[in-house]
Amino acid sequence: MPDPSLTGRYAGWPAGAARALLAALLALLVAAALVPIRAGEGDVAPAGGTSAAAPRERDADLVLYDHVIARLRHGESYYAVIAEEHRRHNYPLRPGFAVRLPTLAHAEAILPHGALIPLSVALLGAVLLAWWRRLAEEPDGLPLRTLAMAALFFGASIGTIRYFFVLHELWAGQLLALSFALHRPGQQPGRTGRWFAAWCAAAAALAIREHALPFVLLMAAFAAWHRRWREAAAWALLAALFCAALAWHLHTVAGLLRPTDPPSASWITVRGLSGWLSMIVLSGNLRWLPHAVAGPIVVLALFGWSAWRSAAGLFGSLLFAGYAVLFMIAGRGDNFYWGMMVGAALPMGLAFVPTGLGGLWRAAFPLDSSTNPIVSGNVAGQ
């Protein structure tokens, strides 16, 4: 019999359940190849982006942040600047969630010109090194470490593209990938584990973008489930401190509103599978692939995480599935960059797809007569 740690999470499933999951996975792969990958309402983004003959214009969101950072470098106040720039670029100020937290703008305004490139490379290196070490400690991680690292580099290298440096999701997503890799949970109830470095990285991500909050809440839930009460309290405290800071941010923005300021269009769009795939594909390096290929790759990556029989695999599958549901419900077409929140580490799941599919197939169609209830029942009755 193969080592249970090397057969994936689904190897021990009953045949009926395994066949149902195989059928559902196949249907989802077909749907992922057919649904449109949209960058905006009614707009289907080209698989390869803009052609070389037509230089890409800077996106309006990025221009807005460029102007804000430039004005902060001249000593202006963030909230006065952000209100003026939102109105000048026809961006809404209400509700206050439409206005980004000031953390990243202040950081980029303080840093010298040219510092963001080496900083992004250093952060990418930290993500790769942290995952290299964690994979050596996880079941089934060491044999597949090289393949997993290649997939991680494919997903996380988007963080070194200068064009996107003003995007909050870019930095927050890299920091979440780092936090995930640095976390060493105590596997037994009551064990402390090593989590402070992960807590710090997640706190930095949360200070940049509120979309990191689901990660923090899931960390708190996992710690509480395993009765690591001190760690659970630390994650809960981080969430509480952030909520207080966010309330202050929203209150400050509310004080800048004018009666003529229009409201934002709703972020609740319920775009379903197309919404999730669009955010992941268009916000990362998968955008260079044909959409009929990129969509199924995203589905397989999530399947790979779910099939990895380890603490990291369980946490990752719940994390990425949770964001998938959120992206199916919320987010307009022009919010596709939200996918950067999870796009760095998600492709790592591809390394565990062969093991997961192999175990699932053997569970669905067992060849050993001892696993066949009809045969084993007849033998037992003789």
Residue 13 located in a structural domain: no
Residue 219 located in a structural domain: yes
Q: What is the pLDDT of residue 190?
A: 45
Residue 376 located in a structural domain: no
pLDDT in tens, 62-82: 999 999 999 999 999 999 999
Residue 11 located in a structural domain: no
Residue range(s) defining the domain that contains residue 138: 23-40+59-365
Residue 378 located in a structural domain: no
Contact assessment for residue 280 and residue 328, using Cβ atoms and an 8 Å cutoff = no
Q: What is the pLDDT of residue 3?
A: 47
Q: How many independent structural domains does the chain possess? A: 1
H or E element: which one contains 185? none
Burial grade of 63 (CB within 10 A; 0-12, 13-18, 19 or more): middle
Residue 132 located in a structural domain: yes
Q: What is the pLDDT of residue 186?
A: 64
Rg (CA), the chain: 23
- Positions of the chain with pLDDT under 70: 1-7, 40-56, 186-193, 368-382
Contact assessment for residue 173 and residue 159, using Cβ atoms and an 8 Å cutoff = yes
Residue 47 located in a structural domain: no
Q: What is the pLDDT of residue 40?
A: 63
Residue 1 located in a structural domain: no
